[in-house]
A and B are shown apart, each in its own frame.
Chain A
């Protein structure tokens, strides 16, 4: 049941609209309920062939030899695709935006780096024929030591997973093995804290499990072009990736999709299109490449696991003054998108709270498991779990109501965030107030009266003045081509002297309040809220 609270922030909206805000039926709903919405696999072509992939049974091994002669003679087999057949057999997804180095082959030739890594493809007249031929391929391996734990992978002498990044970490800005966030002086601030809580959090990998598995059909078209029906979540992303791997011009590919049976982030990786296109080129026939459910579950890239260490420092009055975070993204054997998530994670470290001293190192680590990728809430879901469990522990530590504690520390318009941008358009406090009201969760009057629009500081205490855009450090080498584009940042940081649309900033360090007798053990009103109420 959903209730629209139009009364809140009404003065910031023009609600005089005709189509916007209406519960209009989905444009695609009739197709959905009649089974006629055209998913990629709802297209049929005469003489369509089927591609199946031979996958590594080892997490890390050297391939000594591959004998596919029996498979080549098997009934229905039209073509065997080997690593040598792939025109450009090394790629990384974000090379499309010049972020990261090519590190992942489409088909492994010498070494397999995770269980399920593709080795050869077999194109046959039916999926069954292709599967039966796969069983005839003989591959001999020399198993290599494997590493599965992100912190083990960083220890000296750990097995090296990915030759492009031999130290098992993604390389940031050509010089760091992690993404940094530095704001204020966390270590100094901890010394002034009354309560310090240091915890370890571990997120599990998660499978996207869309009801439609990843797949595509590549069809030879006229003029040397190929029509590709695909389940991708990112049409041009997949088109450009496929063009690069097949050494084709982008206008030789005509991608059609847009009706997809669920994605949740698991259909960005372009898992099936490049080899489907290659198979269609090598056979001259339409080729379908779809993952089985078992492949989707075990070898389709999951949301990567994340391990997060958080140390928070708080003064007795319930204000968080320092946060130190060390986080590890388990990227699996190759980069895919985890390198990007680590940056997004770093920016999110303080969560929706104003913390004057923040210090974070976020690592993208390679291990011998299925390469991870984007998933709903990418880079944030695990961190939010850790941050909000941490917030609960902090509130408990000083006997403060968990909602009031969050409202107290919530960011307001005009507050400075740890990534040195001014908070605007904030609404966390209002969400907390409304949820508490709906759930009959009692919070005190002064907390009900607080607002995201009042009480913000132009710059948070202890914070260095925001660095003016012109003085920003040069961007990362691997993203140089984009530096021009970003000459003018979209959110120019305010100059320290710029007046905030709010009352005077909070005191640098609120005077520690004596614990009160209240059951909430709440800080004294004057010492904490005086600067917030107007």
Chain B
């Protein structure tokens, strides 16, 4: 048997949010009488971490500890409108809405604190540990809890805020396609290393190395979840997945997880990732969205690595071992210059 190794690269960008905009999201933030905050959304967490990332955005903006914020989603009676969780819009659109709502709530909180401390609200700062203090005179401070009690029972203030984020819908020129598809883009470069068996067409992905630019990694572990899981899905799209194995012929479609092929835990490979942060001017703390684009560079990187390994180009997905073998036979075997260096 002869195995050939090769590596391939792909660089991509990805538009953040629904194409052309016009996809609003709203958020409501309010404090209970003991200074604990609730974020009300109708946005969906389908595993990407919507609840968690908006919780961090809210805590950062309010200047309170993360434990003092809880995100409640999704209930159409209590959560204001959100377009939905798709098009990599969660972090960018919903994050901005939560930020706006938290800013408004924070302003009321600081006013209430100022009244209690008898200073100007502009002279106050939060310490991020649940206290509000006078800039330069930290001994003059009050807990967010006491501020909330005072606001509720003495001052009659509601420590709450509303937020919406909308990228206005862009026109499209029917003649030229002139349009504003997105306000910011994430970027990535991924290098895949593969081994190809030239007798069977089997392709094994040995390693992935990547660099993703995401504006800001609001939570590096959540970003890692997306990038690692997304790269797995990219590998799956590249080499395995199809509900129509003989497309455009519609026969022999899979009916279950045995027939629908995806890489198993025994097929995965190490993935070495770097994350870059070039803040998006209109992203929450500069953040874009890693959720969708993370899978995209893997497909072409693997296809290019296969060419580098055995000298055949596969233009059809998925790149099944059968397609690789047919291409190798058409070519009269693997390119001899690319024998395994191992």
Please say whether the chains A and B touch (CB closer than 8 A). yes
Q: Give min CB distance, B6 to chain A, whole Å.
A: 11
B interface footprint on A478-495 (CB within 8 Å = 1, 0 otherwise): 010011011111110000
Residue of B19, B218, B255, B317 touching A343 (CB-CB under 8 A): B19
B interface footprint on A245-280 (CB within 8 Å = 1, 0 otherwise): 000000001111111111111011000000000000
> Would you call A297 an interface residue if the criterion is a C-beta within 8 Å of the partner chain's C-beta atoms?
yes
> Would you call A45 an interface residue if the criterion is a C-beta within 8 Å of the partner chain's C-beta atoms?
no
Interface size class of A (residues with CB under 8 A): 35 or more
> In whole angstroms, what is the CA distance A476 to B170 when docked?
11
Residues in A whose Cβ lies below 8 Å from that of B175? 180, 182, 473
Of the listed stretches A68-76, A347-355, A517-525, chain B binds: A347-355
Closest to A265 in B: B86
Closest to B76 in A: A255
> In whole angstroms, what is the CA distance A488 to B184 when docked?
17
Residue of B49, B75, B253, B293 touching A26 (CB-CB under 8 A): B49
> In whole angstroms, what is the CA distance A27 to B55 when docked?
8
Closest to A349 in B: B177
The answer to whether B315 and A428 touch across the interface, beta carbons within 8 angstroms, is no
Knowing A431-B211, A486-B171, say if A426 contacts B187 (CB, 8 Å).
Answer: yes
Of the listed stretches B152-160, B300-308, B324-332, chain A binds: B300-308
Q: Give min CB distance, A144 to chain B, whole Å.
A: 15
The answer to whether A235 and B82 touch across the interface, beta carbons within 8 angstroms, is yes
> Would you call B122 an interface residue if the criterion is a C-beta within 8 Å of the partner chain's C-beta atoms?
no
The answer to whether B171 and A483 touch across the interface, beta carbons within 8 angstroms, is yes
Residues in A whose Cβ lies below 8 Å from that of B21? 486, 490
The answer to whether B187 and A8 touch across the interface, beta carbons within 8 angstroms, is no
The answer to whether B84 and A235 touch across the interface, beta carbons within 8 angstroms, is yes
The answer to whether A268 and B84 touch across the interface, beta carbons within 8 angstroms, is yes
The answer to whether B300 and A389 touch across the interface, beta carbons within 8 angstroms, is yes
> Would you call B269 an interface residue if the criterion is a C-beta within 8 Å of the partner chain's C-beta atoms?
no
> Would you call B233 an interface residue if the criterion is a C-beta within 8 Å of the partner chain's C-beta atoms?
yes
Q: When A and B form their complex, what is the total count of cross-chain residue pairs whose Cβ atoms lie within 8 Å? A: 464
> Would you call A154 an interface residue if the criterion is a C-beta within 8 Å of the partner chain's C-beta atoms?
no
The answer to whether B42 and A235 touch across the interface, beta carbons within 8 angstroms, is yes
The answer to whether B22 and A486 touch across the interface, beta carbons within 8 angstroms, is yes
Interface size class of B (residues with CB under 8 A): 35 or more
Of the listed stretches B111-119, B137-145, B197-205, B222-230, chain A binds: B222-230
Q: Give min CB distance, A455 to chain B, whole Å.
A: 16
> Would you call B36 an interface residue if the criterion is a C-beta within 8 Å of the partner chain's C-beta atoms?
no
Closest to A430 in B: B276
Residues in A whose Cβ lies below 8 Å from that of B271? 1
> Would you call B7 an interface residue if the criterion is a C-beta within 8 Å of the partner chain's C-beta atoms?
yes
Residues in B whose Cβ lies below 8 Å from that of A474? 171
> Would you call A149 an interface residue if the criterion is a C-beta within 8 Å of the partner chain's C-beta atoms?
yes
The answer to whether A297 and B255 touch across the interface, beta carbons within 8 angstroms, is yes
Which B residues from 65 to 90 make CB contacts under 8 A with A? 65-66, 70-71, 73-77, 79, 81-87
Of the listed stretches A82-90, A371-379, A505-513, chain B binds: A371-379
> Would you call A393 an interface residue if the criterion is a C-beta within 8 Å of the partner chain's C-beta atoms?
yes
Residues in A whose Cβ lies below 8 Å from that of B60? 17-20
> Would you call A344 an interface residue if the criterion is a C-beta within 8 Å of the partner chain's C-beta atoms?
yes
> Would you call A294 an interface residue if the criterion is a C-beta within 8 Å of the partner chain's C-beta atoms?
yes
The answer to whether A467 and B178 touch across the interface, beta carbons within 8 angstroms, is yes
The answer to whether B183 and A490 touch across the interface, beta carbons within 8 angstroms, is yes
Q: Give min CB distance, A180 to chain B, whole Å.
A: 5
Of the listed stretches A128-136, A185-193, A198-206, chain B binds: A198-206
Knowing A26-B52, A201-B315, A202-B315, say if A435 contacts B173 (CB, 8 Å).
Answer: no
Main secondary structure on B side of the interface with A: loop
> Would you call B147 an interface residue if the criterion is a C-beta within 8 Å of the partner chain's C-beta atoms?
no
Knowing A253-B76, A256-B76, say if A298 contacts B211 (CB, 8 Å).
Answer: no
Residues in B whose Cβ lies below 8 Å from that of A488? 168
> In whole angstroms, what is the CA distance A462 to B83 when docked?
39
Q: Give min CB distance, A150 to chain B, whole Å.
A: 8
> Would you call A459 an interface residue if the criterion is a C-beta within 8 Å of the partner chain's C-beta atoms?
no
> Would you call A302 an interface residue if the criterion is a C-beta within 8 Å of the partner chain's C-beta atoms?
yes
The answer to whether A374 and B177 touch across the interface, beta carbons within 8 angstroms, is no
Residues in A whose Cβ lies below 8 Å from that of B82? 234-236
Residues in B whose Cβ lies below 8 Å from that of A411? 13
Residues in A whose Cβ lies below 8 Å from that of B195? none
Knowing A205-B243, A237-B83, A260-B47, say if A427 contacts B177 (CB, 8 Å).
Answer: no
Residue of B45, B272, B275 touching A28 (CB-CB under 8 A): B45
Residues in B whose Cβ lies below 8 Å from that of A439? 7, 191, 209, 272
> Would you call B33 an interface residue if the criterion is a C-beta within 8 Å of the partner chain's C-beta atoms?
no
Q: Give min CB distance, A344 to chain B, whole Å.
A: 4
Which A residues from 147 to 185 make CB contacts under 8 A with B? 148-150, 172-173, 175-176, 179-183
The answer to whether A302 and B316 touch across the interface, beta carbons within 8 angstroms, is no
Which A residues from 424 to 448 make CB contacts under 8 A with B? 424-428, 430-436, 438-439, 441
The answer to whether A23 and B221 touch across the interface, beta carbons within 8 angstroms, is yes
Of the listed stretches A118-126, A402-410, A496-504, chain B binds: A402-410
> Would you call B277 an interface residue if the criterion is a C-beta within 8 Å of the partner chain's C-beta atoms?
yes
The answer to whether B243 and A430 touch across the interface, beta carbons within 8 angstroms, is no
Closest to B11 in A: A406
The answer to whether A1 and B272 touch across the interface, beta carbons within 8 angstroms, is yes
> In whole angstroms, what is the CA distance A385 to B47 when docked?
25
Residues in A whose Cβ lies below 8 Å from that of B71? 27
The answer to whether A201 and B316 touch across the interface, beta carbons within 8 angstroms, is yes
Q: Give min CB distance, B91 to chain A, whole Å.
A: 11
- Those 6 A-B pairs whose CB atoms lie nearest each other, nearest first: A234-B84, A388-B300, A258-B74, A181-B177, A347-B181, A344-B19
Extra contacts besides A421-B180, A427-B276 (16): CB < 8 Å:
A13-B279, A26-B51, A202-B315, A204-B247, A261-B47, A297-B260, A347-B15, A347-B179, A352-B13, A380-B292, A391-B11, A431-B188, A473-B171, A489-B171, A490-B167, A490-B180
Q: What are 27 of the A-B contact pairs (CB < 8 Å)?
A: A13-B286, A20-B218, A26-B49, A28-B45, A28-B51, A115-B250, A204-B318, A205-B244, A207-B241, A236-B42, A258-B45, A260-B45, A268-B86, A297-B260, A360-B177, A377-B296, A384-B297, A388-B304, A419-B178, A419-B181, A425-B279, A428-B189, A428-B213, A466-B178, A486-B169, A488-B168, A490-B167
Interface residues of chain B, those whose CB is within 8 Å of chain A, are: 7-15, 19-22, 41-47, 49, 51-52, 55-57, 59-60, 63, 65-66, 70-71, 73-77, 79, 81-87, 128, 167-185, 187-191, 209-213, 216-224, 227, 230, 233, 237, 241-244, 247-250, 253-257, 259-260, 262, 270-281, 285-286, 291-293, 295-297, 299-301, 303-304, 307, 313, 315-318
Interface residues of chain A, those whose CB is within 8 Å of chain B, are: 1-6, 8-9, 12-13, 17-28, 59, 97, 115, 148-150, 172-173, 175-176, 179-183, 199-207, 209-210, 232-237, 239, 253-265, 267-268, 293-294, 297-298, 302, 305, 330, 340, 343-344, 346-348, 351-352, 360, 367, 369, 374, 376-382, 384-389, 391-393, 396, 402-403, 406, 410-411, 418-421, 424-428, 430-436, 438-439, 441, 452, 466-467, 472-476, 479, 482-483, 485-491
